[in-house]
Amino acid sequence: MPDCDILVIGAGPGGGSAALTASRKGLSVIVVEADPEVGTPVHCGECLSDLAVENLDLDLPEEVIALRCKGIRVIFPDGTEKKLTESGYVLEKHLFERWLIDQSIEKGAMLHRKHRVTSMERIYNKENQFNNWKINGKGDQFPITCRAVVDASGVSGVASKLLKMPSEVEVIAGFQYEMLEVPNDGYLDFYLWPEYSPHGYVWMIPKEKGRANVGLVTTDKKGAVKYLNQFIDDTYLKDNPTTNPPWRKEGMKIKPFGGTIPISGPRSVTVGDGLILVGDAAGFTSPLFEGGSHLALWSGREAAELLASAIHDQNLSKQYLSAYEKAWKKRFPPYDKILKGKNALYALSDKELSNMARCLPEELGNMSVFDKLWIGCKLLIRHPMLYTKRVISVLLSFGYSRAKHFGW
């Protein structure tokens, strides 16, 4: 008999959601997490939409909420502001991840911290059919045998690497400071200012009592912190103090925190015999603003539900689990279209971005067909050259960045 039904690699939002769903379904679950603590170091702006919380049927406790927010304000290089009004939360993400895992432990899951998976071996029966896994790694509970694996190891994509599955993942770098005394009106500020974040954007994500995550994503990984410092120096944030986030050890030198985010879209293969990839490990992030928590939570739940049926039906074949690929292809917006919009967006100069922005309605979230036609007319009259820059694709990608489409 294997040690457990499901081994979950990684205790981030994807792993937490998979572990909770699987243990609620009565499966035996072991979660292995490479870090000594769940949730830290934080590598996230920490925002999550109401819709994500509703979608996952989560009842967030107060201590994981850093601020209730009204939505996103998109700010363009000339200062033009537009809104994507969809309410949500700024989280204390490490506390959120711990809460999620604690919920699954209450339902019977086991968590082994400081356990890093380094090898995965499929065991076959006499008929040469997949039977179970033997998972090995650094940590005294290894080797662990299990019927199925959920790979929720984030951007490192451990199963894809170890099993030599197709891995064509491109990443972008993101860093942020925790800042103090930052005023807020309940909106998250996203600055589309190429000067400060080539092929990315800058954010101010507020928390209560004037705390805020101020950060950026950019394809220029080496220059990221330099750009961030420059943005702070050149804006209203210039004199605001920076601090270390509460989860860092006291006395440490203040420095930004962050990580990398997959930006090339879902991996071409996200299932195998007895295996499902979820969250960042599957390449699931929102293509324009690169949020991934909602998608990780959703895919973790979807994977666990399917594995519960597969174990019940005694069929963990890749073919059976391909229902997962059908499910995410049906739910997620067309990635290629949004990438097209994103590329068109990043090809615009500061001036073109601002010209486009001035033709947009105040609210970007719920443009009607009439609104879109009206914008089209304004653009045609005021800035016809923008049509040649595929600005319509840009507008479409804004639409797809809503929480409804797993944007945040």
Ligand X SMILES: Cc1cc2nc3c(=O)[nH]c(=O)nc-3n(C[C@H](O)[C@H](O)[C@H](O)COP(=O)(O)OP(=O)(O)OC[C@H]3O[C@@H](n4cnc5c(N)ncnc54)[C@H](O)[C@@H]3O)c2cc1C
Catalog residues that contact ligand X under the rule CB under 6 A: 9-15, 32-35, 43-48, 116-117, 152-154, 156, 158, 174, 176, 215, 258-259, 261, 279-281, 285, 291-294, 296, 408
Write phi, then psi, for 168 (nearest 5 degrees). -115, 45
Q: Is 46 or 178 the residue whose CB approaches ligand X more closely?
A: 46
Beta strands in 70-152 (DSSP E): 71-75, 81-84, 88-91, 110-112, 116-124, 130-138, 144-151
Distance between CA atoms of residues 116 and 129, nearest Å: 27
- The letter for the amino acid at 161 is K
Kindly give, in sequence order, each residue whose CB lies less than 8 Å from that of residue 368, ignoring residues fewer than 6 positions away: none
Nearer to ligand X, 306 or 375 (CB): 306
Q: How far apart are CA 182 and CA 241, in angstroms?
A: 9
Sequence length of the chain is: 408
What is the largest distance, in Å, between two alpha-carbon atoms of the chain? 72
Q: Which two tokens stand for residue 232?
A: 């702070």
CB 169 to ligand X: min, Å? 13
Closest to 303 measured CA to CA, from 8, 26, 3, 2: 8
| SS3 (DSSP) at 260 | strand
Nearest to 146 by CA among 157, 164, 130: 130
C-beta closer to ligand X: residue 76 or 96: 96
Closest to 272 (Cα-Cα) out of 241, 303, 250, 246: 303
Nearest approach in angstroms of CB 166 to ligand X is 18
Q: Which is nearer to ligand X, 100 or 396 (CB)?
A: 100
Nearer to ligand X, 52 or 308 (CB): 52
CB 388 to ligand X: min, Å: 33
Q: Which is nearer to ligand X, 35 or 50 (CB)?
A: 35
- Is the CB of 64 or the CB of 375 nearer to ligand X? 64
Residue 398 or residue 408: which is nearer to ligand X going by CB?
Answer: 408
Beta-ladder partners of 212: 179, 206
- Of 380, 382, 381, 395, the residue nearest 348 (C-alpha): 395
Say how far apart CA 156 and CA 166 lie, in whole Å. 14
Cβ-closest position to ligand X:
292
User: Of 320 and 332, which has the nearer Cβ to ligand X?
Assistant: 332
* Element housing 186 (H / E): none
Nearest approach in angstroms of CB 129 to ligand X is: 27
Nearer to ligand X, 103 or 156 (CB): 156
CB nearer ligand X, residue 279 or residue 341? 279
Query: Whole-number minimum distance, CB 212 to ligand X, in Å?
Result: 12
The least distance separating ligand X from the CB of residue 343, rounded to whole angstroms, comes to 20
Minimum CB separation from ligand X for residue 85, in Å?
17
Least distance between ligand X and beta carbon 363 (Å):
21
Whole-angstrom distance, CA of residue 241 vs CA of residue 224? 19
Least distance to ligand X from the beta carbon of 154, Å?
Answer: 2
Query: Which residue intervals of 65-222 are DSSP H helices?
Result: 93-106, 158-162
Calpha distance 35→366 (Å, rounded): 41
Contact criterion met (CB below 8 Å) for 217 and 205 = no
Task: Say which residue the tokens 């609620």 belong to.
Answer: 24
What share of residues in the chain are helix, strand, coil (percent, to 5)?
35, 25, 40
- For the bound state, the minimum distance from the C-beta of residue 287 to ligand X, rounded and expressed in Å, comes to 12
CB of 86 to ligand X, least distance (A): 13
